[in-house]
Amino acid sequence: MERYRTYLIRFILLFHCLFLAIVIQAQNPTPFPEGTKRILFLGNSITYAGTYVTDVESYFVAHYPGQSYEFINVGLPSETVSGLSEPNHADGRFPRPDLHERLVRVLDQTKPDVVFACYGMNDGIYLPFDEARFRPYRDGQKWLHAELEKTGAKRIIFLTPPVHDDKNLGTQGYNLTLDNYSEWLLAQRDSLKWEVADIHFPMTHYLEEKRKTDPSFKLANDGVHPGDEGHWLMAKAILNYLGENVANAPNVKSTLSVNPRGEEIRSLIAQRQSIMKDAWLSSTGHKRPEMRQGIPMAEARQRYDELETKIRAAVNGK
């Protein structure tokens, strides 16, 4: 009898969580246009690391269980949209890869309905602001937006670059260059009617506020690549821009509690993202050496489907 009561309580709790998720979805329609299937993320090593992409995907799987989106991460470490590279980048082993070289192949293979693009961190090549370096960034972003428009993508959302935390100067070093890049990008909301979600200034503000009570606080140990906390700030800025109510969420875990197996769902999504990002990069091709070789796309699609079955089982409490 006691075992039966335990099962009954678990069933009621699970039903309540699923009902709540359905109600939330009904009250807050998905921000992606009708017919959206593939959501593409372009960017550099921060996007390739992909924790913020996993956080965003996990949120949508948990909060919109009736939808089925494929989140595709094709971030490439070291990449720029400006085409610039330091004379001795990577100790002279290779120049920075340029998005111009691979974009056509990426778009031909992924055929995205929605695109997020996050560039800027590498584009100023870690030097003080200079118009000669700023111009190729602006031209590259305009080129990218025009190329994405040609695909017929339903939404194109540019992301300002994350915060840079200089070892000695904090946010008063290279981050000042990124301030300029971010301000220009945000200005395109009005001048060119672009969609731009701001990551840079919320992260900068968060870092500076934390430093007031803990001068040693860092979002990125190397100044560039954020840890899980920084990636959640990125994901939160994106979700806020999309109209999701996550402004007070301290971490992604807190947003997944609408499903009792939210953490399991996120773990499965992280596994899938790890497999697919390398498969996509290998399939679409690039010129950056020292990257992992992805498994063939046919095998990757099979792994994708296997993990999708597990994710859907977790979402539905099976």
**What is the arithmetic mean of pLDDT over 51-74?**
97
Asked whether residue 173 is domain-assigned, the answer is yes
Report the share of the chain in percent with pLDDT over 70: 91
Q: What is the pTM of this model?
A: 0.91
Is 6's pLDDT higher than 90?
no
Q: What is the mean pLDDT of residues 42-53?
A: 98
Of the pLDDT bands very low, low, confident and very high (cuts 50, 70, 90), residue 19 is very low
Residue 17 is predicted with a pLDDT of: 47
H-assigned helices in 244-296: 252-255, 262-284
CATH of the domain at 112: 3.40.50.1110
Instruction: Judge contact between 117 and 43, C-beta under 8 A.
Output: yes
Please report whether residue 311 resides in a domain: yes
Q: Is 90 exceeded by the pLDDT of residue 200?
A: yes
CA distance 115 to 155: 6
Q: Does position 53 have pLDDT exceeding 80, yes or no?
A: yes
Percent of the chain with pLDDT strictly greater than 90: 90
Q: What is the pLDDT of residue 11?
A: 47
Mean pLDDT of the 9-18 span:
47
- Is it the case that residue 102 has pLDDT exceeding 60? yes
pLDDT, average across residues 216-223:
96
- Give pLDDT, residue 90: 96
Domain with 203 in it: 36-315
Average pLDDT of the chain to the nearest whole number: 93
Is-contact 166 174, C-beta < 8 A? yes
In this structure, is residue 11 part of a structural domain?
no
Domains in the chain: how many in total?
Answer: 1
Those residues with Cβ within 8 angstroms of residue 215's Cβ, 6 or more apart along the chain or in another chain: none
Please indicate, yes or no, if residue 22 is contained in any of the structural domains.
no
Tell me whether residue 283 is in a domain.
Answer: yes
pLDDT score at 26? 42
User: What is the reported pLDDT for 73?
Assistant: 98
pLDDT band at 9 (very low <50, low <70, confident <90, very high): very low
* Sign of the dihedral defined by the CA atoms of residues 173, 219, 90, 122, in that order: negative
Q: How many CB atoms lie within 10 A of CB 74?
A: 27
pLDDT of res. 21: 44
Q: What is the pLDDT of residue 5?
A: 52
**Does residue 248 fall inside a structural domain?**
yes
Rounded to the nearest 5 degrees, what angle is found at the Cα of 141, between the Cα atoms of 191 and 36?
90
In a domain, 289, yes or no: yes
As a whole number of angstroms, the distance between CA 135 and CA 138 comes to: 5
Q: Is residue 26 part of a domain?
A: no
Mean pLDDT of all residues in 73-91: 97
pLDDT for position 29:
73
**Residue for token pair 């792994």:** 303
